[in-house]
């Protein structure tokens, strides 16, 4: 397949929404003290294996559309952008308010966007936001849209509470415990980004191009639904890193990327082990990677734009910097996108 290169796409606005409650990994272990003692699992295991000291959570009844809309409202407030100019709205959350209607339609209603907006859900596990950016960028390049809003909102509390009940059962085994272990890393948050025509926003950061690869043979390594998520964490990490290496190689062939091309790496946030292995395998400098997982956990598709906004706010990105947005979704699918700040 051919990979898109963007000549007229700018980032017009970016914002995030932070969930109000912090839950430490130690608090999760306290809730699982009984089964962990019976299974002879040491205290501090969760933080030690993942590098996640805490994650943030919304109230149990917070819908994905609420987190996504909250981030979008912050974007509109910060930029002064006229929301009536939005042409496209993509909701890219793993979580959804309902099976139907689309969560995008609910976000559209929450934001008060009119009937001229084309809205839909894009689902690709943790890769959804980057996929949304790619599709929005292609619409802008084709002249079909002037402004596109991409959002994601994740509330991990429902699946976390379900998993705590599952792992507290008296007959839980070590194997089952570790198949649900990745669920304990999940965090909550919202993110929103508006893309527009570079000709209208010439001074803004711009999208350069993107590449993708997939490994559908590994789709069984992580499967989740309303009742929980089971993951073969080690196999998933190994398959994901191998796919990331293939994807980066595609970028090298298509856009001339090298291990020294980027000043900042903005990746999907999973854990310390995943981050280290990816950087070592691809030959990337881990110090260039902006890390939010220690304090926010794995926020699914919201992680990449959330982390990009954190980097922007902390002054970690300078004008002219080349950034790599890097994501992997269970399935497996991997995309990498270059941004020039």
Q: Is 334 a catalytic residue?
A: no
Provide the percentage of residues in the chain whose pLDDT is more than 70: 99
Integer-rounded Cα radius of gyration of the chain: 19
**Is residue 2 predicted with pLDDT exceeding 80?**
no
What is the per-residue pLDDT for 322? 98
Residues ≥6 apart with Cβ < 8 Å to 130 = 210, 301, 304, 325, 327, 335, 337
Predicted confidence (pLDDT) at residue 224 exceeds the cutoff of 80: yes
**Answer CATH for 206-340 from 2.160.10.10, 3.40.47.10, 3.40.640.10, 1.10.1040.10:** 3.40.47.10
**Would you state the structure tokens that stand for residue 82, as one six-digit string?**
């006229």
φ/ψ of residue 144, rounded to 5: -90, -15
Please determine, for residue 225, whether its predicted confidence score (pLDDT) is greater than 90. Answer: no
Q: Tell me the domain boundaries of the chain.
A: 206-340
Of 62, 126, 222, 279, the active-site residue reads 126
Q: Looking at residues 213-219, what average pLDDT do you find?
A: 95
- Sequence-separated (6 or more) residues with CB below 8 Å from residue 336: 210, 211, 212, 244, 247, 248, 251, 324, 325, 326, 327
* Predicted local distance difference test score (pLDDT) of residue 267: 96
Contact 191, 239 (CB under 8 A): no
How many C-beta neighbours within 10 Å does residue 295 have?
15
If you search the block for the tokens 């497996």, which residue do you land on?
332
Q: Half-sphere exposure of 236 toward its Cβ, with a 13 Å CA cutoff? A: 23
In the chain, alpha helices (H): 25-31, 33-38, 45-50, 64-79, 103-111, 128-141, 157-167, 174-179, 233-255, 272-282, 293-296, 303-313
Q: List the structure tokens of 56.
A: 């943030």
The residue whose two tokens read 């149990």 is 60
Q: Are strands 54-57 and 21-24 parallel, antiparallel or unpaired?
A: antiparallel
What angle do helix axes 272-282 and 233-255 make, rounded to 10 degrees?
A: 40
> How does the average pLDDT of the chain come out, rounded?
96
Which has the closest alpha carbon to 111: 225, 3, 15? 15
For 164-181, the pLDDT digits (tens) are 999 999 999 999 999 999
Q: Enter the DSSP assignment of 5.
A: B
Q: What is the mean pLDDT of residues 327-341?
A: 96
Q: pLDDT tens across 133-162, in order?
A: 999 999 999 999 999 999 999 999 999 999
Residues 6+ apart with CB under 8 A from 25: 46, 47, 50, 52, 53, 54, 55, 184
- Which of 100, 175, 199, 203 is flagged as catalytic? 100
Q: Quick one: pLDDT band at residue 1, thresholds 50, 70, 90?
A: low
| Per-residue confidence band for 227, with pLDDT thresholds at 50, 70 and 90 | confident
Categorize the per-residue pLDDT at 244 as very low, low, confident or very high, splitting at 50, 70 and 90: very high
Confirm whether 333 is a catalytic residue. Answer: no
pLDDT tens sequence across 249-297: 999 999 999 999 999 999 999 999 999 999 999 999 999 999 999 999 9
Q: What is the mean pLDDT of residues 290-315?
A: 97
């Amino acid at each position: 397949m051919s990979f898109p290169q963007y000549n007229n796409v700018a980032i017009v606005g970016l914002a995030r929404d932070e969930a109000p409650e912090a839950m430490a990994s130690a608090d999760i272990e306290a809730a699982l003290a009984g089964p962990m003692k019976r299974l002879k699992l040491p205290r501090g295991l969760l933080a030690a294996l993942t590098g996640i000291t805490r994650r943030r959570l919304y109230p149990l009844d917070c819908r994905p559309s609420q987190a996504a809309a909250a981030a979008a409202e912050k974007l509109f407030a910060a930029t002064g952008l006229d929301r009536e100019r939005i042409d496209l709205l993509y909701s890219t959350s793993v979580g959804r308010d309902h099976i139907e209607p689309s969560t995008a339609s609910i976000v559209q209603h929450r934001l008060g966007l009119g009937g001229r907006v084309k809205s839909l859900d894009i689902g690709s596990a943790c890769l959804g936001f980057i996929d949304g950016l790619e599709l929005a960028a292609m619409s802008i390049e084709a002249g079909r849209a002037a402004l596109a809003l991409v959002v994601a909102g994740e509330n991990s509390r429902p699946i976390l509470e379900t998993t705590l009940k599952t792992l507290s059962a008296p007959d839980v085994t070590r194997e089952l415990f570790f198949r649900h272990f990745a669920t304990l890393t999940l965090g909550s948050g919202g993110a929103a980004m508006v893309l527009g025509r570079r000709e209208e926003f010439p001074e803004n950061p711009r999208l350069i191009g993107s590449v993708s690869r997939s490994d559908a043979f590994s789709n069984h390594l992580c499967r989740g639904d309303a009742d929980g998520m089971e993951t073969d964490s080690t196999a998933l990490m190994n398959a994901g890193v191998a796919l990331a290496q293939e994807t980066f190689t595609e970028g090298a062939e298509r856009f001339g990327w090298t291990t020294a091309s980027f000043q900042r790496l903005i990746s999907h946030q999973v854990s310390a082990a995943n981050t280290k292995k990816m950087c070592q395998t691809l030959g990337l400098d881990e110090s260039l990677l902006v890390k939010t997982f220690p304090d926010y956990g794995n926020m699914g598709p919201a992680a990449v734009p959330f982390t990009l906004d954190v980097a922007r706010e902390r002054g970690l990105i300078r004008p002219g910097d080349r950034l790599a947005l890097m994501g992997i979704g269970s399935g497996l699918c991997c995309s990498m996108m270059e941004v020039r700040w």
